[in-house]
């Protein structure tokens, strides 16, 4: 998504808790595109971290036009095997982190009467699968956060939408990709018969970040090879 936005000329701030990954991403963006790319080390479960990242980003660029809430974790297992601590951890990263980022960025966007917020939901925002209760609960909450906030800030020229990815070849999905039985099970649910390639999500992020989506808000767009259409 950062690559797609950079290709379109956007300046980028990468914020994650892993400084090594941040530096690698910024090195790639800076060497590949004619834009400004910066990063900040940020744990989305810590409000002060988010507030500082937003403050420093605004100071560096003068404004914030786009927020993509993409931090997420998944802890799989039968409900009786998952601890309350693990359940809460998923909610803190996936839900509280997104809510805190929105809370910090909205006032900045209101000052400029413009903003594009994209929350990363999941196909599990609208459908379900066994052994996914923490993740499905969190992504259902993301859908409602998106809808509620979209209505709240609609008169401020700020749009809020959600992307609902199906299976993509990300690090989070390695346990499934490396298990032949689970991999086949996933593929059987996708009418297109394959997983999504990472570059395929960039175009949707770019659309929701641009004036092309100026009348789109409170929406959740699936990108899943047809999974939830069944």
Active site residues: 135
Take residue 195 and report the two structure tokens written for it: 């997983």
Element (DSSP H or E) covering residue 26 = helix 19-32
Cα distances (angstroms) measured from residue 228 to each of 21, 99, 205: 32, 26, 19
Closest CA to 26 of 39, 17, 35: 39
Residue with tokens 């989305």: 44
CA 189 to the chain's CA centroid: 23
Rg (CA), the chain: 17
- Closest Cα partner for 73 from 104, 53, 54, 96? 96
CA distances from 140 to 78, 82, 126, 150, 204 (A): 18, 19, 7, 16, 20
> DSSP state, 96?
I
For CA atoms 142, 148, 153, 158, the dihedral sign is: positive
Tokens, residue 136: 């499905």
């Amino acid at each position: 998504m950062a690559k797609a936005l950079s290709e379109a000329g956007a300046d980028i701030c990468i914020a994650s808790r892993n400084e090594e990954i941040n530096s690698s991403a910024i090195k790639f963006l800076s060497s590949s595109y004619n834009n400004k790319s910066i990063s900040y080390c940020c744990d989305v479960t810590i409000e002060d971290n988010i507030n500082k990242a937003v403050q420093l980003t605004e100071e560096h660029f003068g404004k914030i036009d786009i927020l993509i809430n993409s931090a997420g974790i998944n802890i799989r297992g039968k409900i009786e095997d998952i601890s309350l601590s693990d359940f809460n951890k998923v909610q803190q990263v996936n839900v509280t982190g997104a809510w805190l980022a929105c809370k910090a960025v909205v006032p900045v966007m209101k000052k400029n009467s413009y903003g594009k917020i994209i929350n990363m939901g999941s196909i599990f925002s609208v459908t379900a699968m066994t052994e996914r209760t923490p993740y499905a609960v969190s992504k259902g909450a993301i859908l409602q956060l998106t809808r509620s906030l979209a209505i709240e800030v609609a008169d401020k020229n700020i749009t809020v939408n959600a992307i609902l990815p199906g299976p993509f070849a990300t690090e989070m999905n390695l346990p499934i990709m490396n298990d032949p039985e689970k991999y086949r099970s996933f593929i059987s649910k996708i009418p297109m018969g394959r997983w999504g390639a990472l570059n395929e999500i960039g175009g949707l992020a770019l659309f929701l970040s641009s004036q092309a989506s100026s009348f789109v808000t409170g929406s959740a767009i699936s990108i899943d090879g047809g999974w939830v259409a069944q």
